[in-house]
A and B are shown apart, each in its own frame.
Chain A
Amino acid sequence: MEISAVLFYVFAGLAVISALAMVLNVRNTVAAAMSLVVTMVSIGGIFVLLDAYLVAALQIMVYGGAIVVLFLFVVMLLNLRTDDFPPVGLRLAKLGGGLLVVVVVSAIPRLLGGVFPEIPAAPTGYGGYRALGIALYTDYVLLVEMVSLLLLAAIVGALILAKRKID
């Protein structure tokens, strides 16, 4: 097996295990956020293996950096270090969830086996900032404008929601 395939399975296993740790960790919210960091960085590694270099960097910066720090910030702000209300029927959920993941992981390659051809070689410049920038600012320029509006609306909405009293 070549090295990229080995790395893919390592990152995939790491992502799934830390995602499970995030969902099933019922004691410590900070530890759940840390598990989320591991998941996001593993997914970033998988993006690198799939030749999406710029998106991988953004994934690690935005998810592993900004979003998880925001979560941690709120956890610390509200002083929620321990989780006082564990889910009901956790043992059943653990068992059923683990079984479901195993079934999904084992069934999909079998179901889809032979449907798709081999992954072809990527052309030069695939996944780099140049190709992505050209796609963003020619074909998808309207999308960029709409996303900028969405960001503005989210900033205003978050400010109004988190404000104590609107005067």
Chain B
Amino acid sequence: MVPIEHVIALSAALFTIGVGGVLIRRNLIVILMSIELMLNAANVALIGFNRMWPGIEGAPRMDGQVFVLMVITVAACEVAVGLGILISMFRNRDSVNIDEVNLLKW
């Protein structure tokens, strides 16, 4: 089994890549994908730490995995609503470039 530090390093690397994607890309679809990547990085850390404290024989602890299930559900909801927003934005502006959506920008 690998040390837990390497699992956390993988999680941090994936999260960093996701943040980078949100910051540098201007295509809304790729930004949504990067958000998914960040949620997955959090899942990796949760699963790793749950494996670190797995409970005792006869009473396994599954708290981290329950949280991961909730994160997966939230991610699915977020994608559904995000893609709905994207479709209505494309309908109004004929583009998925977020630089063109600056009405709320101060």
Contact = CB atoms under 8 A, between A and B. Distances in A.
Given A70-B79, A101-B16, A119-B1, A78 B90 contact: yes
B28 to A, nearest CB: 10
Interface in A112-156: 112-113, 115-116, 118-120, 122-127, 131-132, 134-136, 139-140, 143, 147, 150-151, 153-155
Interface string B2-26: 1111111110111011101100111
Contacts, number: 249
A118 B3 CA distance: 6
Given A5-B1, A23-B34, A93-B20, A122 B10 contact: no
A74 to B, nearest CB: 5
A80 B95 CA distance: 9
A41 B76 CA distance: 16
Interface of B: 1-10, 12-14, 16-18, 20-21, 24-27, 29-30, 32-34, 36-37, 40, 43-44, 47-48, 50-52, 54-63, 65-66, 68-70, 72-81, 83-88, 90-91, 96-97, 99
Interface of A: 2, 4-5, 8-9, 12, 15-16, 19-20, 22-23, 26, 29, 32-33, 36, 39-40, 43, 46-47, 49-52, 54-55, 58-59, 62-63, 66-67, 70-71, 74-75, 77-78, 80, 83-87, 89-90, 93, 97, 100-101, 104-105, 108-109, 112-113, 115-116, 118-120, 122-127, 131-132, 134-136, 139-140, 143, 147, 150-151, 153-155, 157-162, 164
